[in-house]
Amino acid sequence: MQAALITPTQAGLVYAADLLIMLLRYGLFAGVAYAVFWRWKKARWQHRRIQPRFPDQHHIYTEIRYSVLTCLIFAAVGLGIFVARQHGFTRIYMSVGQYGWLYLVGSTVLAILAHDTYFYWTHRFMHLPGVYQRVHRIHHLSTNPSPWAAFAFHPLEAVVEAGIFPLLVFVLPLHPIAIVTFLTYMMGMNVLGHLGYEPYPARFLRTRFGRLHNTSTHHNMHHQFVKGNYGLYFNWWDQLMGTNHAKYQERFEKVAIIQRQQKEVA
């Protein structure tokens, strides 16, 4: 039986709902991080700053404008996936019992790992001569990013960033719980990378988990120095490809040890 075509009114409603969800999620994660670290506890937590100075307010407004544009694009991709699912082209399923809870957890982890790989290699692509100047440079206007830079992309980069989601739902059976968990983790790690503060303890990079998982310092250094530190969630691609910044661990521990010393003095 052929699926009924979605009407323009229905498409408009789905797009509006997707956009509202995008803006609320972006506003919640980036807004709370900005309010707590950049406003409420700004003076008290200055010792946690990765780069001591702060960008001017005008630049933060620029980050927000580009992020809102990205949300508009992401919502359009969401509408496309909705239509594709209506016609049976995606592998989104609604009953947990169809594959079981173990698969649901495994598929969530697999989606995160797939996105980490996708991001690393598309990010490397964005740094190719020509592509960087025309597209990725917009994101790197934030040499000292705020949480509002999480979605601050050129429209073409926003399309590339959104590309992982259609790939996942067309290839991998995913339950809405897995999708929401994946998107929440993605947003949280994205904001952490642009937080401007290092919340992890001084010995984090010397633990098994810390050696594999990225930190706020990792991505902040990418913004500051442009080259190196291309990974998103995990550090293994940067380790395998030799693209970690040479002073990444030194920089991380300098910031983290200052945190510890400040607490001891207090």
Q: Are 214 and 194 in contact (CB under 8 A)?
A: no
3-state DSSP assignment of residue 213:
strand
Q: What sign for the dihedral angle of Cα 197, 199, 205, 210?
A: negative
* pLDDT, average across residues 130-136: 97
223 within some domain: no
Best CA proximity match to 194, nearest among 164, 215, 163: 215
Q: Does the pLDDT at position 45 exceed 90?
A: no
Best CA proximity match to 91, nearest among 177, 167, 29, 143: 167
The Cα diameter of the chain in Å comes to 71
Whole-Å CA distances, 64 to 42, 72, 151: 20, 12, 8
263 within some domain: no
Q: Are 86 and 18 in contact (CB under 8 A)?
A: no
Three-state SS across 160-194? HHHCHHHHHHHHCCECHHHHHHHHHHHHHHHHHHC
49 within some domain: yes
Task: Name 4's Cβ contacts closer than 8 Å, sequence gap at least 6.
Answer: 86
Quickly state the pLDDT bin for 234 (edges 50, 70, 90): very high
Q: Does the pLDDT at position 266 exceed 70?
A: no
* pLDDT, average across residues 129-135: 96
Q: Which single residue is written with the structure tokens 């001591």?
A: 52
User: What is the pLDDT at residue 264?
Assistant: 45
Whole-Å CA distances, 182 to 31, 43, 126, 145, 252: 20, 33, 23, 23, 27
Percent of the chain with pLDDT over 90: 87
* Stronger pLDDT, 3 or 229, i.e. the higher one: 229
Residue 137, both tokens = 């440079």
236 within some domain: no
Supply the mean pLDDT for the chain.
93
Q: Are 33 and 27 in contact (CB under 8 A)?
A: no
* pLDDT, average across residues 126-146: 97
* Stronger pLDDT, 122 or 6, i.e. the higher one: 122
250 within some domain: no
User: What is the pLDDT at residue 265?
Assistant: 41
Structural domain range at position 136? 8-199
Q: Which single residue is written with the structure tokens 């495994």?
A: 106
* pLDDT, average across residues 114-140: 97
How deeply is 133 buried, as exposed, middle or buried, from its count of CB atoms within 10 A (0-12, 13-18, 19+)? Answer: exposed
81 within some domain: yes
User: What is the pLDDT at residue 1?
Assistant: 45
User: What is the pLDDT at residue 182?
Assistant: 97
pTM check: above 0.85: yes
pLDDT, tens digit (0-9, with 9 covering 90-100), for 9-21: 999 999 999 999 9
- To 5 degrees, how large is the angle CA 102–CA 168–CA 96? 30
Q: Does the pLDDT at position 263 exceed 70?
A: no
Quickly state the pLDDT bin for 54 (edges 50, 70, 90): very high
148 within some domain: yes
Q: Does the pLDDT at position 258 exceed 80?
A: no
137 within some domain: yes
pLDDT, tens digit (0-9, with 9 covering 90-100), for 175-212: 999 999 999 999 999 999 999 999 999 889 999 999 99
User: What is the pLDDT at residue 41?
Assistant: 86
How many domains does one find in the chain? 1
* pLDDT, average across residues 143-152: 97
pLDDT, tens digit (0-9, with 9 covering 90-100), for 86-106: 999 999 999 999 999 999 999
pLDDT, tens digit (0-9, with 9 covering 90-100), for 153-171: 999 999 999 999 999 999 9
